[in-house]
Amino acid sequence: MTFRHFQTQVFVTWSAIMTLTWVLILGTSSFVWAVDVIQLKNGDQVSGDIISMEDTVLSVDTEYADIIKIDWDDVKNLISDQPIWVSFHDGAVIPDGVGHREGDRLIVFRLDLDGPIQLDKIKTINLFALAYRGTLSLGGSVTSGNTDTQSINVSGSLTVNKGWHRIILDGRANRGEADDKLTAKNGAFNARWDYFLSKRAYVPVINFSEYDKFQKLTYRNTTIVGGGYDILDRRANFLTAGMGPTAIYENYSTKAATVITGFSWLARWELEFLKGDLKVWHHHIGTRDLGRDNAVRINAVQGISVDVYKDLSVSLEYNVRYNSEPVDDRKSTDSTIVFGLSLDIQG
């Protein structure tokens, strides 16, 4: 009883420390003042914060004159420390290899009159700057005869981008039965916030939760705060990796809950082919405990999907869960193969 009470106190203290870390990161970011520079065709220069451009009028928040309006036709070039979200007039050709593509918008840090993006083809800047994309997948099977089996697998992923912030949500749940006997019941949920320090470097804050009845895992929560970098930042070829110190709260049904420190690494690789009709992905989170048994745990999700009609696709996914130090007599590796239908979500 005393041991469990001690573990609860440790967990509460650790949670308070992690909350303080969040507050410090958010508070520090509020003191960063990004200055944008707009060069006009007549040679004048305007410095401030680019708010938006709509109906050929560019709005800039300056320190010396509050918000000023500039005719878009008078702009020669502009440079921003923050991402500029650009949308185009109908029929405009969006150049390849420039900026980062998000749906029908382009994210850049610079626009020039003589650059690859024609200024007169731009419709808006920093309007509807919130962009999101994701998938919702459902798979399962039913067999009858000598053996009656049923299984259902649900998974989803959502990535939301806005300015210097990126939020990633991943979740999955699996359940299986054979002859009315439960054979599989597990789930995981990953909530992640990335704050960008530059175009590609960011600070990730990750909270990864897991449950697995047949691993006797009642609950495991892994919190990671570290550093990350977008190695490839194209929509059709995206690769990001990161690492950082970790705190793990772990509770098995056969022993007392523990709080462990560790070190984690993570990677997400997403590829698109045939103009997005064929997608391949690999998402990976690995953790190594520091001290105790130095356990290594890996959660990896990889798959492929092929569009069949509009936003609907067929998908094949292979999930692997590895624990080098499983509890009791459990096996170290569990894997799940899921074949199903996926719905693409984008906005």
pLDDT, one tens digit per residue, over 176-217 is 998 889 988 999 999 999 998 877 899 999 999 999 998 899
Q: Are 86 and 119 in contact (CB under 8 A)?
A: no
User: Predicted confidence band at 28 (pLDDT cuts at 50, 70, 90)?
Assistant: very low
Helix, strand, coil % (nearest 5) of the chain? 10, 65, 25
Collapsing DSSP to helix, strand or coil, 113 comes out as coil
Domains of the chain, residue spans: 36-128, 132-346
Strand partners, 270: 238, 281
Q: What is the pLDDT of residue 229?
A: 94
pLDDT at 128: 60
Question: Which residues are within 8 A (CB) of 330 and not within 5 positions of it... i.e. 6 or more apart?
Answer: 214, 215, 216
pLDDT value, residue 62: 84
Task: Over range 148-169, report the average pLDDT.
Answer: 88
According to DSSP, residue 24 is labeled H
pTM of the predicted model as reported, rounded to 2 decimal places: 0.68
Q: Does residue 289 sit in helix, strand or coil?
A: strand
The pLDDT value recorded for residue 261 is 93
**Confidence category of residue 12, pLDDT binned at 50, 70, 90:** very low
Give the E-state strand segments of 163-295 in sequence order. Answer: 165-178, 181-196, 201-212, 217-225, 227-234, 237-252, 258-273, 278-289
Query: pLDDT band for position 131 (50/70/90)?
Result: confident
Beta bridge partners of 153: 139, 174
- Look at residue 297 and tell me whether its pLDDT is greater than 90: yes
CA trace torsion 85, 129, 23, 81 (10° rounding): 10
CA distances from 29 to 23, 83, 164 (A): 10, 15, 10
Rounded to an integer, what distance in angstroms lies between the CA atom of residue 33 and that of residue 166? 19
Tokens 């005393």 locate to 2
Does the structural domain 132-346 have CATH classification 3.40.50.1820?
A: no
Question: In the 8-state DSSP scheme, what is residue 90?
Answer: T
What is the pLDDT confidence band of residue 94, given thresholds at 50, 70 and 90? Answer: confident
